[in-house]
Chain A
Amino acid sequence: MSTTEHLGDLLRELAPQVLGVLLRRYGGFEECEDAVQEALLAAATQWPAEGVPENPRAWLVTVASRRLVDQIRSEQARRRREVTAAVRGAPDAVLAPAPGGAGPGDQDDTLALLFLCCHPALTPASQVALTLRAVGGLTTAEVARAFLVPEATMAPRISRAKQRIRTAGASFAMPPPQERAELLDAVLHVLYLIFNEGYTASSGPDLHRGDLTAEAIRLTRMVHRSLPDDGEVAGLLALMLLTDARRAARTGPDGALVPLAEQDRDRWDASMIEEGAALVTDAMSASPLGPYQLQAAIAALHVQAPRAEDTDWEQIRILYGILARIAPNPMVTLNHAVAVAMTRGPRAGLELLQSLDDDPRIARHHRLHAVRAHLQELAGEYAAARENYRLAARRTTSLPEQRYLRDRAGRLERQRLRSKDEGRKDEGRKDRSATVVDEGAGSGSGEHHGDGPRGDAGVDRLPADDRAVVQRRGDGPDDVGGVGAGG
């Protein structure tokens, strides 16, 4: 890791702390956030040349405060009086906390900031963008790059999000405990979206963008440090670790998708698996059960099997059954159907899938077709499987998944031609059955991001509710495997 990257890490770590100090002192999210960005930019240009100051956090606070004051001085007189008074009133001690270390309030600050950035008045896309910038310390250009849009598209989105927060009258303060649970749900959802966008890019040529998954894990760790006893926070962190642990094995040398069952398990990250499994085990024994913990437990079962055929599908089926009860949504049903197929046979799985045909949330979704194709293949209904693989391929917007699904259809086609030649019908299927399932595609669908549940204007299409999204990309996919090929 170069010094520059090191510096970047330091700055991103400090960003929410500095913003927290400014907000507590001056208020005004929009202005404070801009001032912190300017201070971060100043540090990024000055520190490499002049060296990192002894107390980088105090340096940033001082510079950001000055920018803020400058900015506000040029505005209205009334505002000016308030702020300069506040600046005068700020004892210098606040500017120089314990060298290097984080002050006592920093973790709460980070959490309060996350609550603000994930404000329900914002669309999911705006929540994500704002979180990455204000809490993650990414520049607008970096956020734009992560989502493959021009900076000119991202900049107004971020500034509009900040205006909305102001209009909604939200302030930087820890919400009362009774409101926290719901707000925390929103925060976890946003972190999950960031992770998923990184893990399975919703469109485009590459399957994942590692910088976003790393950022999501880093932010979730921060939340976990603030709320070590929250089982769902721990569950989400575990889920991310257990999913990301497989990243290196998920794509072949040519960038093509490798189904979970065919992945080289030696390439999985053992330390991430260990950490994730420990987290979810602790969480489940100490806290009320929640959807993230359940999904993490399922992910743990997948990665702890020494070989694909050792996978404990019976356990997985039971866990999906519980998940379907406490957080039902079509993606859960989809994954549940795969687990049922693996334990009770493909026909039983296909039967469960029928319940989704009339569900507008998923009836046209490529994952449904992919899972059905997969189960039909297992059941020996090759012609139908081929058609459904093709249909799924046409409907996904992820190129690697398209390739995977077309390939699957192509194999069946070749098999058909060959067996015609040889007058055999069944050729070569047995050894593949394990393979097929579980694809790892991780993801679900292209839509998730954005198509999210909590849109603005009553956009409630994938009622999916947050969890759906989670499923869509989470481990869900794994089970669903290749099937998923999701997006």
Chain B
Amino acid sequence: MKFMLIMHGNPQIWDALTEEERDEVMSGHGPFMETVKKSGEMISTTALADPSQSAVVRVRGGVPAVTDGPYLEAKEYLGGYYLVECDSRERALELAALIPDAGVEGLGIEVRPVLYTGTADD
């Protein structure tokens, strides 16, 4: 079963952390990736740039309109994800708990089943 472990980030919470705490979270991803690669559960991962870099494109009447900024006005934004293949939902939850962000007060990892993934060589 494939799951996406979604990291929602809250810039305010992130900014409130000390430099040290931020480093700890960042460097904690290394061992996590080691774990899931070694177990054969890792499919891919992506980290996204700050939502302030986003633009939203809407096509109306065939004409694209572009606005700067994220899609939703929200406190939390999609920060990145891990795509994993594991034996069960329980295992996916277990993996999510190993992601360092899960341990930060105010943050959490969303675990969601995947319907479909495609790759360039499909």
**CB within 8 Å of B: which residues of A?**
123-125, 147-150, 152-158, 160, 202-205, 397-399, 402, 446-447, 449-452, 455-456, 459, 461
**CB within 8 Å of A: which residues of B?**
1-2, 37-44, 85-91, 113-117, 119
B91 touches A204 (CB 8 A): no
A149 touches B85 (CB 8 A): yes
A446 to B115, CA, bound (A): 10
A456 to B88, CA, bound (A): 10
B116 touches A205 (CB 8 A): yes
Residues on A with C-beta less than 8 A from B85 are: 125, 147, 149, 153
B117 touches A397 (CB 8 A): no
A155 to B116, CA, bound (A): 21
A450 touches B88 (CB 8 A): yes
Sample of 30 A–B contacts (CB below 8 Å): A123-B87, A125-B86, A148-B117, A149-B43, A149-B85, A150-B43, A150-B44, A152-B42, A153-B40, A154-B40, A156-B39, A157-B41, A160-B38, A160-B39, A203-B113, A204-B115, A397-B113, A399-B115, A402-B115, A446-B113, A450-B86, A450-B87, A451-B87, A451-B88, A451-B89, A455-B87, A459-B88, A459-B90, A461-B88, A461-B90
Of all chain B residues, the one with the shortest Cβ separation from A396 is: B115
B88 touches A160 (CB 8 A): no
A-B pair number, CB within 8 angstroms: 80
Further pairs besides A160-B39, A203-B2: 14, Cβ < 8 Å: A125-B87, A150-B119, A156-B37, A157-B39, A160-B40, A203-B113, A203-B115, A205-B116, A447-B1, A447-B88, A450-B86, A451-B87, A455-B87, A455-B90
For the complex of A and B, the 4 pairs showing the least CB-CB separation, nearest first, are: A157-B40, A156-B40, A450-B87, A451-B88
A124 to B87, CA, bound (A): 7
A153 touches B42 (CB 8 A): yes
Of all chain B residues, the one with the shortest Cβ separation from A458 is: B90
The 8 Å CB contact of B41, one of A153, A202, A204, is A153
Of all chain A residues, the one with the shortest Cβ separation from B86 is: A450
Most A CB atoms within 10 A — which of B44, B86, B87, B90?
Answer: B87
A219 to B95, CA, bound (A): 33
A202 to B2, CA, bound (A): 10
Of all chain A residues, the one with the shortest Cβ separation from B84 is: A153
Closest Cβ–Cβ distance, residue A147 to chain B (whole Å): 7
A124 to B91, CA, bound (A): 13
Closest Cβ–Cβ distance, residue B106 to chain A (whole Å): 28
Residues on B with C-beta less than 8 A from A449 are: 1
A123 to B94, CA, bound (A): 15
B43 touches A450 (CB 8 A): no
A158 touches B87 (CB 8 A): no
B114 touches A455 (CB 8 A): no
Closest Cβ–Cβ distance, residue B95 to chain A (whole Å): 13
A149 to B39, CA, bound (A): 14
A446 to B113, CA, bound (A): 10
Of all chain B residues, the one with the shortest Cβ separation from A448 is: B1
Closest Cβ–Cβ distance, residue A139 to chain B (whole Å): 15
A203 touches B114 (CB 8 A): yes
A204 touches B88 (CB 8 A): no
The 8 Å CB contact of A202, one of B1, B87, B90, is B1
A236 to B16, CA, bound (A): 60
A147 to B87, CA, bound (A): 12
Residues on A with C-beta less than 8 A from B119 are: 150
Closest Cβ–Cβ distance, residue A392 to chain B (whole Å): 14
Residues on B with C-beta less than 8 A from A157 are: 39-41
A157 to B40, CA, bound (A): 4
Most A CB atoms within 10 A — which of B39, B115, B117?
Answer: B115
Of all chain A residues, the one with the shortest Cβ separation from B1 is: A450
Closest Cβ–Cβ distance, residue B100 to chain A (whole Å): 22
B114 touches A397 (CB 8 A): yes
Residues on A with C-beta less than 8 A from B115 are: 203-204, 397-399, 402
A399 to B113, CA, bound (A): 13
A148 to B2, CA, bound (A): 10
Residues on A with C-beta less than 8 A from B38 are: 156, 160
A451 to B88, CA, bound (A): 4
A202 to B43, CA, bound (A): 17
Of all chain B residues, the one with the shortest Cβ separation from A452 is: B87
A158 touches B40 (CB 8 A): yes
Closest Cβ–Cβ distance, residue A416 to chain B (whole Å): 28
A210 to B119, CA, bound (A): 20
Closest Cβ–Cβ distance, residue B118 to chain A (whole Å): 8
Residues on A with C-beta less than 8 A from B116 are: 203-205, 399
Residues on B with C-beta less than 8 A from A204 are: 115-117
A160 to B41, CA, bound (A): 11
Closest Cβ–Cβ distance, residue B52 to chain A (whole Å): 32
Of all chain B residues, the one with the shortest Cβ separation from A158 is: B40
Of all chain A residues, the one with the shortest Cβ separation from B122 is: A148
A124 to B85, CA, bound (A): 13
A451 touches B1 (CB 8 A): yes
Using known A-B contacts A150-B119, A203-B115, A446-B113, determine if residue A455 contacts B41 with beta carbons closer than 8 Å.
no
Residues on B with C-beta less than 8 A from A399 are: 115-116
A148 to B39, CA, bound (A): 17
